[in-house]
Structures are given as C-alpha cells and as structure tokens.
Amino acid sequence: MLEARLPQAALLKKIVEALKEMVNESNFDCGDSGISMQAMDSAHIAMCSLLLRSEGFEPYRCDRVISLGLSFSSLSKVLKCAGNDDVVTLKAEDDADTLGLMFESPKEERVSQFDLKLMDIDSDHVSIPDQEYDCTVHLSSAEFARICRDLSTFGASVVLDATKEGIKFSASGELGRGGILLKQQGSVDDSSPTSTRIEMREPVSVTLSLKYLNIFTKAAPLSEVVTINMSSEIPVLFQFSIGDIGHIRFYLAPQIQEDD
C-alpha cells in the first residue's frame, strides 16, 4: 500500500494545475523511491514527466510498486476542495480502485476525506535517455512565461537563439516581428537566483511551437527558475524544480526551420 503525507496541499495543487492542461489522464507510478509520472499530450507532440522523491514526504511508505491511473481534471476538482495550508495524505491499497486523499486544516478543526476513482490507462512509457545538451539556460520562469505570452501575439512559433551573450526569443507574423533578448548576468551580479545564466558548448538556435510553450509555463508557479536544455535537432527540455522534492520536465521537438 501507499501512504504519503505532504504538509502543503498548495504544492500538489500547483503540480496538478501545471500538468492538467497538457495531459488528461495518466498513471502515477508509486514505488520505494517516490512517485513518478510520464505522459504525452493528446496529439503526441510534447511530453512531460513528474518526479516526487519519497524524501519530500513525511512519512512516505510504499511497500510495493503501484500504478495509479488518475484523471487530471478529477484530481484538480478534488484538490480545489483543499485549503492551501492543509496537510494532504495520499493513501491507496494494493489493487485498490480508489485513491484516498485526506485534507487536514492547520488547526485540525476540519478533516476532509475524498476517494477518487482510479482508471485503467494504457501507458506508452517512452524511456528518455539522459541527454547531454549543447546549451543550458537558467532564467526566471515568470519572465519566460511573459515572453511566451507576449510573442504569441506575433506568431505561432518562436526562435530561441542562445549565445554566450544571452538568449533571444523572436517571433514574426502579420503584425510584424518581435524579439526579446535576455542578457547573461555578469558573475558579480550573480546574487539573484532568477538572473539569466547560460552554460554552453556551442550556440544553439531552435524553433518551437508557442502553443506548447504556453502550456509548459503553467508550471511557473512551482519554481521561480526554469532551466532550458537545448541541442539542435533533439527535443528541448524545460525543467521546473519542485522545491527540493522533485521536478516537472517538458520535452518538445524543434520545428524544422523553413527559410522563406
């Protein structure tokens, strides 16, 4: 059986809000080391994965591997019933057909118990090799979300150009064109965790669908920093940390650049 207690319901709420726009339902694989999930969007274009390490729960107990087929919209509805500061406890028996969620208010005068029906979901579990990337950019997730939203006005796709100087986002369309450059912050001014930082082997330029990037940025409330890992020709990885308990990763293949 699984039993996992998380002191802040807000965290779980944000995780589900971050993923529900991209994935309708998915299997949550619970094991010794924690909970993980992996899914593609319904069009099978982008992929996401979630990792929540057992150390992030107190306590965490999972005797044997369990796969919980959950609907994100149902999960979201149930989590709307939890206060942000509630303590959440997840429980599932082996071979259970429901997931139990208990919410306890901080003062313990209110206890809610929900039992969510589980689904049988065929999961096409693609294994993702741990990739070396030509370029890794750390930047403010709020800034990234803002840029993707703003550039959506101009076109359906954005070009990311990463050099040692900084990362540039550009889009063009009927209105005209737009470009936003985030400069790498000098090492002296490295104080802020949300400063733009770039590690690179060589410059990379990729074209990506803004529709998907705007879906990924729903994860911005989870982490103030997003890490973009890029090489030409292979899917770009966007990673949002979840405290120090895990992360959400999004993968999106670059579009073939057509010169016009």
213/211 Cα distance (integer angstroms): 6
Among 125, 149, 164, 177, binds DNA (CB under 7 A): 149
Binding mask 75-114 for DNA (x = CB under 7 A): -----x----------------------------------
Q: What, of DNA, a second copy, none, does residue 201 touch, CB below 5 to 8 Å by kind?
A: none
Nearer to DNA, 207 or 214 (CB): 214
169/259 Cα distance (integer angstroms): 17
Cβ-contact 36, 51 below 8 angstroms? yes
Binding mask 8-37 for DNA (x = CB under 7 A): ---------x---x----------------
Task: Take residue 29 and report the two structure tokens written for it.
Answer: 């694989």
Question: Pseudo-torsion of CA 72, 36, 226, 73, nearest 10°?
Answer: 0
- Single out the segment in contact with a second copy by CB under 8 A; choices: 20-28, 30-38, 56-64, 110-118: 110-118
> Is residue 113 within the footprint of a second copy (CB under 8 A)?
yes
Q: What, of a second copy, DNA, none, does residue 112 touch, CB below 5 to 8 Å by kind?
A: a second copy
Among 181, 190, 202, 243, binds a second copy (CB under 8 A): 181
Q: What, of a second copy, DNA, none, does residue 17 touch, CB below 5 to 8 Å by kind?
A: DNA
Place of tokens 């930047």: 139
Helix (H, G, I), strand (E, B) or coil at 3: strand
Cβ-contact 227, 239 below 8 angstroms? yes
Residues 6+ apart with CB under 8 A from 85: 8, 9, 10, 105, 106
Among 14, 91, 138, 218, binds DNA (CB under 7 A): 218
Helix (H, G, I), strand (E, B) or coil at 71: strand
Binding site for DNA (CB under 7 A): 17, 21, 80, 149, 214, 218
